Amino acid sequence: MWDHKVKVILPFLVYLIQNGSALSRIDPLVDSKVGLIRGLRAPDGDYSMFMGIPYGTVDKSNPFGPSSPHPSFDEIFEAYDDSAICPQVEEFNRTVVGTLDCLHLNIYAPNSANSRNRLPVLVWIYGGGFSIGFSGRFLYGPRYFIEQDIILVTLNYRLGPYGFMCLDIPKIPGNQGLKDQLLALKWIKDNIEAFGGDADKITIFGESAGGASVDLHLRFNQEKLFDKVIMQSGTALLPRAVTEPDTTAPLKLAAHLGFKTADTGAALEFLATVDTTLVIASSSELGLDFRPCVETDPEIIDKFIYDHPLNMKPDLRNMPIIIGHNSDEALANYDSMSSEDFSKLNVFYDNLARNFNFGNEELVEMEKFVRHYYIGDQKISEDVKQGIINFHSDFSYNYPAVRTVKKYLDNGARNIYLYVFAYDGDRNFVKARLNITTPGVTHADEIGYLFDISYMENPTPEDQLIIDRITTLWANFVKFGNPTPQTNELLPVQWPAVTEEALNYLYIDSELKVEKRIYKSRMAFWDLFYKLNEKSQKLYVESSK
């Protein structure tokens, strides 16, 4: 009898010794409002992963229209797979990928999170020009944030024609991707407590189009689904963050795919039967650009953007905000450009023409005015590359951030923290991917210091310090509404909030420095330019008709 017990127990003891306690190896199971969800113990830390949880479904007969909540689970949902991706031309291999069964989210919860120790929640909305992006660990590994003892959630939303076809009709009103995000935020608010999260401490953050999305939620979402926001290199005032829709897009896509018609309804019915791969490829071949839009039709019930962001005046008295950008946002746009490519550029004229309703003579005059400020009397060439980078960075990212801060101050916000990210290391995401060696920090470079990107090597000590600093700043903000509630060796300076008298900002480099007024003269130039031309802004005129 004893021999039999030894034979049974010894292998079990060996298992415990090799794998730790039996308890730590049990995959976590939570009882949410939508049913039982089983996750996985993480292999690289003390946290659990609940991946690929479906929060929404797309109507196959109207794949360009709004999604609806995913039904509850009848059986245990095994949340093991974060590979879902919405239809798009992905950025790494330029291949067409994805399916409409993509409205999933991923939850990463420290093992310390439970009903007696509810942790604050940070929700990531990816960027990608509203046309690319996905939420999986390939790019957005959670480990650095998990080490800050907060819960991280990442979510997918539809992109391109499926997310942002804007026909301003009840069936396809526009902004479907933003409404996907809204559906996910409602799901998180309703269910995060089952994962040990604090439903009253939810921060949403995003970069580029993700930052613009966060800003649009802040301006338009009337539900209390979050209590803090972080906008990285993106606000609702970015050029073309909100655009006039192309209502002929279904006709163009259908014709490109061999179905010529002048009837939008017939074109949509046809496109609903076409494989998503072909629709995405056709959108790319035609150069169609789908983005958020103002929904004007009074018959649209669930409008998201019902006026242009320029006109919105949200009450922000109790909303802590982090907002900022990188030091050389447009570096990657021009770094590898040849002399011949530079000679073909008309960057000042093109940007002003796209964003202002100037007459021909006025456009020429304004183009001269802006060009002279940035490159003097020189022709556009490789010799004035830095001036062009400065212009593109200021026009597309830097000034929209400063302009947003000023508008939010006017609307009662008093807890705004402004930053410039300027650290140039081995984990600069875009520079590493494009093999850019020119000094400077370009658009999206900060992502490598916030997330454990799967294909990057272990951080150098210098890079690890930046990871520790920026994730601590972000996590402090999530926990306390203040990125530096106290100073210490890691965060030796206090990051002051912006005031109307002083546009304080934190300069994040190998050292942290507090400065005043980002690019003071350049931002003053744009203050004057927009003051002179306020009513010539395209969507300002359109939204006031």
Residues 6+ apart with CB under 8 A from 448: 427, 428, 429, 432, 456
The number of folded domains in the chain is 1
Q: Read off the tokens for 160.
A: 């391109």
φ, ψ of residue 336 in degrees (nearest 5)? -100, 15
pLDDT of residue 267: 98
Question: Tell me: the pLDDT tens digits for 120-166?
Answer: 999 999 999 999 999 999 999 999 999 999 999 999 999 999 999 99
pLDDT of residue 543: 46
Q: CA-to-CA distance for 158 and 56, rounded, in angstroms?
A: 11
pLDDT of residue 16: 36
Helix (H, G, I), strand (E, B) or coil at 329: coil
> Please, what is the average pLDDT of the chain?
93
Question: Tell me: the pLDDT tens digits for 385-409?
Answer: 999 999 999 999 999 999 999 999 9
Determine, yes or no, domain membership for 361.
no
Nearest to 183 by CA among 209, 152, 157: 157
pLDDT of residue 495: 98
pLDDT of residue 437: 96
Asked whether the whole model's pTM tops 0.85, one would answer yes
The residue that leads in pLDDT, 2 or 477, is 477
Residue 106 has pLDDT above 70, yes or no: yes
Residues 6+ apart with CB under 8 A from 461: none
Q: How confident is the model at residue 176 (pLDDT cuts 50, 70, 90)?
A: very high
The residue that leads in pLDDT, 543 or 110, is 110
Handedness of CA 219, 220, 221, 222 (dihedral sign): positive
pLDDT of residue 517: 87
Determine, yes or no, domain membership for 394.
no
CATH number of the domain within which 443 lies:
3.40.50.1820
C-alpha angle 403-342-291 in degrees, rounded to nearest 5 = 45
Q: Read off the tokens for 393.
A: 């960075």
Q: CA-to-CA distance for 310 and 237, rounded, in angstroms?
A: 7
Regarding beta strands 321-326 and 416-421, do their DSSP bridges make them parallel or antiparallel, or are they unpaired?
Answer: parallel
Determine, yes or no, domain membership for 395.
no
Cα 73 to Cα 41, 53, 81, 149: the distances in Å are 21, 10, 16, 29
Q: From the candidates 208, 282, 283, 393, which is the catalytic residue?
A: 208
Question: Tell me: the pLDDT tens digits for 1-55?
Answer: 444 433 444 443 333 333 333 344 478 999 999 999 999 999 999 999 999 999 9
Q: CA-to-CA distance for 57 and 541, rounded, in angstroms?
A: 36
Residue 61 falls in the annotated catalytic set: no
Segment 290-318 mean pLDDT:
90
Determine, yes or no, domain membership for 183.
yes
Please state which of the ranges 147-156, 298-307, 430-439 shows the lowest mean pLDDT. Answer: 298-307
Question: Tell me: the pLDDT tens digits for 187-205?
Answer: 999 999 999 999 999 999 9
Segment 276-293 mean pLDDT:
97
pLDDT of residue 1: 41
Q: Read off the tokens for 371.
A: 């060009």
Determine, yes or no, domain membership for 510.
no
| Ramachandran bin of 271, using left for φ above 0, alpha for ψ from -120 to 50, beta for the remaining angles | alpha
Segment 414-427 mean pLDDT:
97
Q: How confident is the model at residue 310 (pLDDT cuts 50, 70, 90)?
A: confident
Q: CA-to-CA distance for 37 and 77, rounded, in angstroms?
A: 5
Determine, yes or no, domain membership for 380.
no
pLDDT of residue 7: 41
Q: CA-to-CA distance for 412 and 213, rounded, in angstroms?
A: 21
Q: Which ranges of 100-248 does DSSP label H, i.e. alpha helix?
A: 143-146, 160-164, 176-191, 209-220
Residue 35 and residue 77 in contact, taking contact as beta carbons nearer than 8 Å: yes
Domain of residue 48 covers 2-333+405-488
Q: Which helix (H) or strand (E) holds 264?
A: helix 264-273
Cα 440 to Cα 123, 373, 397, 423, 434: the distances in Å are 28, 22, 15, 8, 14
Q: Which helix (H) or strand (E) holds 77?
A: strand 77-78
Question: Tell me: the pLDDT tens digits for 73-92?
Answer: 999 999 999 999 999 999 99
pLDDT of residue 317: 85
Q: How confident is the model at residue 540 (pLDDT cuts 50, 70, 90)?
A: low
Q: CA-to-CA distance for 360 and 183, rounded, in angstroms?
A: 44
- How many CA atoms lie less than 13 Å away from 481 in the CB half-sphere? 12
Determine, yes or no, domain membership for 357.
no
Hunting for tokens 């939008």 — which residue is that?
264
Helix (H, G, I), strand (E, B) or coil at 505: strand
Residues facing 501 on adjacent strands: none
Q: CA-to-CA distance for 133 and 154, rounded, in angstroms?
A: 11
Residue 327 has pLDDT above 60, yes or no: yes
Determine, yes or no, domain membership for 533.
no
The residue that leads in pLDDT, 334 or 318, is 334
